[in-house]
Amino acid sequence: MPKSEKLNRREFISSAATIAASISIVPSSVIAGTGHIPPSDQLTVANVGCGTQGLREMSSLLTNPKIRVVAVCDVNKFSTDYIDWSPYGIRNDIRKTIGDDSWWEGKPGIPGGRDIGQEYVEKYYAKNKASGKYKSCVSYEDYRELFAKEKGIDAVKIMTPDHTHAPIALAAMDAKMHVVTHKPIANRLLEGRKVIQKAKDSGLVSHLLAWSDRPEYRQIKAWMDAGLIGELQEIHNWSYRPVWQQWTKIPTEAQPIPEGFNWQLWLSSVPDMPYHKNYTHNVFRGWYEFGGGSVADMGHYSLFPLFETLGIDRSPVSARAFGTTTREEINQVYQWVKNDVAFPASCLIKWKFPEQESLPGFDLFWYDGGMKPFACEELEEDGNDTPEEGLLIVGSKGKILGGFRGENPVLLPESKMMKGRDSERINSREVDRKTDQWVEAMLEGKQTPGSFTRAQCITDTINLGAIALRAGKKVDFDSNLVKITNDEAANQFLTREYRKGWEI
């Protein structure tokens, strides 16, 4: 293949003096099919994880002229058995991005795997080349091999199951690569702490994709700072999720490992166990071993930017949780099923937070699976009920209600408290949110507002909630000692049993 297609940002910078001596304008032949931005101004990215979400977000990487996707990685070579929210969503996204309405025509199922990821990248870049050909996206099964062999990568985007986020992030930073990851940073509290500390020590740029700029939260803070609801007492946040199937027992039947799927690599740090389709391909999140439940899936989106806006950076001192119970018929008798392997179908979690720099101590409540708080008096006064999803800020003198991520916030009761405040209303549908600030930050070597270094409180909070669910009792947490102080047995949930050679 032409050497120009192999030119990467690091090579470009290191040889800049030599190039400058011979040419004054970067020729289009060295631009890797992504417009006319020279490699020195591009971020070379390896995308690790080519399942549904990895492919869904690929378009934003490919269409950003400041990014050049140079590698993909996935333990699955290729299959069409992925589960998604739409039968044609992934297919249609790829068609639109590569400009080919016939792509995947007449083929069954929902595609995914590293072969699809590589094809996606190369088809997109090929359409912008005069030759109509592009074959410079490398593909790997094992991210460790990728990081060892490919030296020209600036950043790694992690789009894999929750339990693999920490080992991949740590390996990427060991290889001096910047890291952007889907939530959570880790699905174990101690792993999260280690990744965050590595980000601090390395000085590399990191970004948790759940962060977003939310003007709604700034409006909420302005109302709080003005004393309109008094002192903060409680925060309530609720989601209708999970939308995936939940299980209560480890599968007992044996299933053959699909061809082209590296089950041992998928397990990563988790000790060996038999393969089952109920673990993989977008249904991993409900298992304690592999996922973080609905609170990790959605709570990061709503709570991380809220914590940042309100100045909440001191981790909770305790957590208590309840989940739905399950019964099954055994020998003509219904018996309670002890579920210690997966998140419940619905749950309620309460965290107690200490005093913050500018806030008093408060309680945070999470509800999911159809659970939500009853309508408060102020809502009933206006003839309204609690919405399906939402955020409620409770103060000593008043309340603020918004959508799940604080969308369209109002003071309650709205009929009285929002009179004359039309200029303060925010129509969240009109808010322009930047989702790729991490690109500019990494090119400039600056931390983002969603940096791992700012995410310890939210990471502790989410994982402590899971610990409370698994412990089945209130757990007291010492953030400095990183220890459950009232139940020694619960400390096992701070970490995991590691497969030999995969220890973190």
DSSP string, 167-182: HHHHHHHHTT-EEEEP
Give the pLDDT score at 39: 74
Q: Is 208 helix (H, G, I), strand (E, B) or coil?
A: strand
Per-residue pLDDT reduced to its tens digit, 337-363? 999 999 999 999 999 999 999 999 999
| Amino acid in the structure at residue 2 | P
Residue 37 binned pLDDT confidence (cut-offs 50, 70, 90): confident
The CA-CA-CA angle for residues 409, 233, 371, to 5°, reads 65
Does 183 score more than 50 pLDDT? Answer: yes
Residue 18 binned pLDDT confidence (cut-offs 50, 70, 90): very low
Q: Decide: 363 and 352 in contact? Cβ < 8 Å.
A: yes
pLDDT, mean of residues 72-93? 96
Does 379 score more than 80 pLDDT? Answer: yes
Q: Is 297 helix (H, G, I), strand (E, B) or coil?
A: helix
Give the pLDDT score at 256: 97
pLDDT, mean of residues 415-421? 97
pLDDT, mean of residues 313-319? 98
Q: Pick from 198, 149, 161: which is nearest to 178 by CA?
A: 198
Does 458 score more than 90 pLDDT? Answer: yes
pLDDT, mean of residues 311-323? 98
Does 8 score more than 80 pLDDT? Answer: no
pLDDT, mean of residues 234-261? 94
Give the pLDDT score at 23: 34
Give the pLDDT score at 429: 86
Residue 36 binned pLDDT confidence (cut-offs 50, 70, 90): low
Per-residue pLDDT reduced to its tens digit, 99-151? 999 999 999 999 999 999 999 999 999 998 989 999 999 999 999 999 999 99
Q: Decide: 118 and 58 in contact? Cβ < 8 Å.
A: no
Tell me the pTM: 0.92
* CA 241/CA 295 separation, integer angstroms: 9
Bridge-based pairing state of the strands 155-158 and 178-181: parallel
DSSP 365: E
Give the pLDDT score at 329: 87
The CA-CA-CA angle for residues 325, 330, 333, to 5°, reads 80
Does 22 score more than 50 pLDDT? Answer: no
Q: Decide: 415 and 381 in contact? Cβ < 8 Å.
A: yes
- On average, the pLDDT of the chain sits at 92
Higher pLDDT, residue 215 or 128: 215
| Amino acid in the structure at residue 377 | E
Q: Is 166 helix (H, G, I), strand (E, B) or coil?
A: helix
User: Alpha carbon of 304 to those of 14, 283, 310, 324, 393: distances in Å?
Assistant: 38, 24, 10, 26, 15
Q: Decide: 313 and 307 in contact? Cβ < 8 Å.
A: yes
> 3-state secondary structure string, 253-293?
CCCCCCCCECHHHHHCCCCCCCCCHHHCCCCHHHECCCCCH
Q: Is 467 helix (H, G, I), strand (E, B) or coil?
A: helix
Per-residue pLDDT reduced to its tens digit, 254-299? 899 999 999 999 999 999 999 999 999 989 999 999 999 999 999 9
* CA 268/CA 287 separation, integer angstroms: 15
Q: Phi and psi at residue 430, in whole multiples of 5°?
A: -100, 0
Does 5 score more than 50 pLDDT? Answer: no
Give the pLDDT score at 80: 97
- β-sheet bridge partners, residue 287: 342
Phi and psi based region of residue 482 (left: phi greater than 0; alpha: psi -120 to 50; beta: remaining): left
Give the pLDDT score at 436: 84
Residue 40 binned pLDDT confidence (cut-offs 50, 70, 90): confident
Which contacts qualify for 342-346: CB closer than 8 Å, 24 or more apart? 342/246, 342/247, 342/248, 342/286, 342/287, 342/288, 343/242, 343/246, 343/286, 343/287, 343/288, 343/291, 343/293, 343/294, 343/466, 343/469, 344/246, 344/369, 344/469, 345/242, 345/246, 345/369, 346/370, 346/371
Higher pLDDT, residue 328 or 474: 474
Give the pLDDT score at 24: 34
* CA 284/CA 267 separation, integer angstroms: 11
Residue 4 binned pLDDT confidence (cut-offs 50, 70, 90): very low
Question: How far is Cα of residue 427 from the mean position of the Cα atoms in its chain?
Answer: 25
Find the DSSP H helices in 150-214: 165-174, 189-202
Which contacts qualify for 21-28: CB closer than 8 Å, 24 or more apart? none
pLDDT, mean of residues 424-451? 91
In which order are the strands placed within the sheet that holds 362-367? 410-412, 399-402, 390-395, 232-238, 362-367, 347-353, 318-323, 475-478, 483-484
Give the pLDDT score at 38: 80
